[in-house]
Amino acid sequence: MQRYFIAPELLTETDVTIVGDDAHHIIRVMRGKAGDQVIVSNGLDREAVVRLREPEKDRVVADIVEWLPMLNEPAVEVWIAQSLPKGDKMELVIQKGTEIGADRFIPFQSERTVVQLDAKKEGKRVERWQKIAKEAAEQAHRNRVPAVEAPLSWKQLLERIGQADAAWICYEKQDGLQLKQRIQEALTKHRDSSVSRTAADGPTQAYTAEQRIKLLLIVGPEGGFTEQEVKAAEAAGAHSVSLGRRILRTETAAMVGLTCILYETGEMGG
């Protein structure tokens, strides 16, 4: 069944008004007609099967048929901080990270970041990235659309480290404590039973924002991080972690780290 994320204010207790690209898709692409059913989500805390009324010129009103439990979201929030990569690699990171289960994407500039975005270009890029996240979330049957933030400076990123329950800077020269132990340390410290759910428990409940542990994964650009940057991140409270002995491309590293975290927290059969 086709799924659409709509603005929260358009979804009421009894019906929903679908407008814009989503209405266009229903009317023109899906050739929707009265009686057809689709799924709508406000991307926050409500999701329902709805039955279309007769589509109008540029909007479709539909009636709530059944509220759905929102069980497709991980019990942990993984924030992917990605040093702006060259070309369209950021689109790949956002699309694949959304499918896997990332909660948000935080692009940033670090010393060896090659890409320089001016304000105008940056606004357009973030808009396109957010659209990619929405489409990937619909395809993946996610209950929420990951947020794509505006790029941060390195200094601003360091300030985000303290806002997470745990932060890990991916560093290929680190061969100490591996990611697995760091994840277990964070879960124990957070003592949030909701994240200790195992696959055996099954998706038994939706998780509220405050219940979800917040984990920040920081990935460098094609040229990597400088020693000073790693030290500065550690001084700000992050731990440096290895993702194994192979050197991963910048666009691969976040996917590997994200998958390890979600596997270890029982979100992917782990």
In this complex, which beta carbon is closest to ligand SAM, that of residue 74 or of residue 220?
220
The residues that touch ligand SAM, with contacts defined as CB under 6 A, are 170-172, 219-220, 222, 224-225, 242-244, 246-250, 253
In this complex, which beta carbon is closest to ligand SAM, that of residue 141 or of residue 249?
249
Query: Least separation, in Å, of the C-beta of 190 and ligand SAM?
Result: 23
Query: Least separation, in Å, of the C-beta of 91 and ligand SAM?
Result: 17
Query: Least separation, in Å, of the C-beta of 85 and ligand SAM?
Result: 8
End-to-end C-alpha distance for the chain, whole angstroms: 28
Query: Least separation, in Å, of the C-beta of 1 and ligand SAM?
Result: 38
Instruction: Residue 147: name the closest of 165, 160, 130, 164 by CA.
Output: 130
In this complex, which beta carbon is closest to ligand SAM, that of residue 15 or of residue 222?
222
In this complex, which beta carbon is closest to ligand SAM, that of residue 73 or of residue 222?
222
Q: Which residue has its beta carbon closest to ligand SAM?
A: 220
In this complex, which beta carbon is closest to ligand SAM, that of residue 183 or of residue 243?
243
Query: Least separation, in Å, of the C-beta of 223 and ligand SAM?
Result: 6
